[in-house]
Amino acid sequence: MPLVRLLMPLGLIVFGAVAVFMGAMVLLGGLRAGEIGWSSGPVGAVTETRIRKADDPDGFWRVMGLGGALPLVLGFGAVVAGRRMLRS
């Protein structure tokens, strides 16, 4: 049981730190370039999607919020929760 009490907060901290980093990079990259692009699909038929701020501002800010700001905020919350669990 003590191992679970140690691994759970450490997992939250690591997972949260990765989410914060990913969210920050998506926000910085998207704001700097003015577009967001991603690829998906199987190896043979990869589809690439790009959303430009000038072409579709609503879609751009939606993707920035869901792909950048949301992981940043939730990841920070996970790090804080993990630190609180370790201290108690």
Q: What is the pLDDT of residues 67-78, one digit of tens each?
A: 999 999 999 999
Residues 44-73 have a mean pLDDT of 90
Please count the structural domains in the chain.
1
Name which of 27, 35, 33, 34 is nearest 64 in CA terms: 27
Mean pLDDT of 41-70: 89
* Predicted pLDDT at 64: 93
Extract long-range pairs of 35-39: CB within 8 Å, 24+ residues apart.
35/60, 36/60, 36/63, 36/64, 36/67
Give the range of the structural domain holding residue 19, as residue numbers without chain letter. 2-39+46-87
CB 9 within 8 A of CB 80: no
The whole-model pTM stands at 0.82
Q: Crossing angle for the helix pair 57-64 and 2-33, nearest 10 degrees?
A: 160
**What's the mean pLDDT in 40-67?**
88
Give Cα 26 distance to the centre of its chain. 7
- Assign 42 a pLDDT band (cuts: 50, 70, 90): confident
